[in-house]
Structure 1
């Protein structure tokens, strides 16, 4: 009976160790995955000195793909004020796409540098 009791205790202890190891992820090694269809798309039009949209709010999640689709009639720079930040050169043509992710939750402004206008503020959540 003593041997059976010790064996049962060893099995329970071993199971607890295995369970703890398999359910506790290492945050430094975790690589978030977002399904490809979960992107956030933002259409931006720059024409005749007018920018559309301006001063909007867009919700997204940490590590979610954000795609800026830009049609422009002028040269410009898009700045994404995240950590790390992004700068995208805009050319005077249609059909430009700029892709990025944000790794830190919070508010992130996307602005046109030369026009001095905020296109949208991303509200990044966990």
Structure 2
């Protein structure tokens, strides 16, 4: 190897090492005071042969926390979520349907099946 190539290789090695030192790795943990996303509150129910189970389940959530409705149904219906904001979801005759919403105003939130006329769940949403 000629002297010019040796200097070029040495310069490249030094530059690469300097760049490697300048890279800052992300910390493994979140900084103090950072909050992780809230885990969803899950309400599971089933519509079969004209019956709804369970009826009027009780759950608790916080404002902004995701709420998942998981539905197995043998009939079409419509879910009404009486909250602020309000939500409406079309239920099909299918298993494993999932509907997600959040509530922005604390209070009691009723989740009602419109055609069946049943309250599936009441979620108490706290500030």
Structure 2: distance between partners of 1:116 and 1:34? 39
The runs of 5 or more residues in structure 2 that have no matched partner are 1-33
The runs of 5 or more residues in structure 1 that have no matched partner are 1-32
- The answer to whether structure 1 residue 43 and structure 2 residue 44 are counterparts is yes
**What is the number of residues matched between the two proteins?**
94
Which residue is equivalent to 2:117? 116
Higher helix content, 1 or 2: 1
DSSP 3-state at the match of 1:38: coil
User: Deviation above 6 Å: which 4+ runs of structure 1?
Assistant: none
CA RMSD of aligned residues (A): 1.5
Structure 2: distance between partners of 1:118 and 1:35? 32
Q: How does 1:55-94 map to 2 (within 5 A)?
A: 55-94=56-95
Q: Which has the larger radius of gyration?
A: 2
- 1:116 is displaced (CA, Å) by 0.5
- TM-score, with structure 2 as normaliser: 0.70
Q: Deviations over 1:7-27 (max 9, x none)?
A: xxxxxxxxxxxxxxxxxxxxx
- TM-score, with structure 1 as normaliser: 0.71
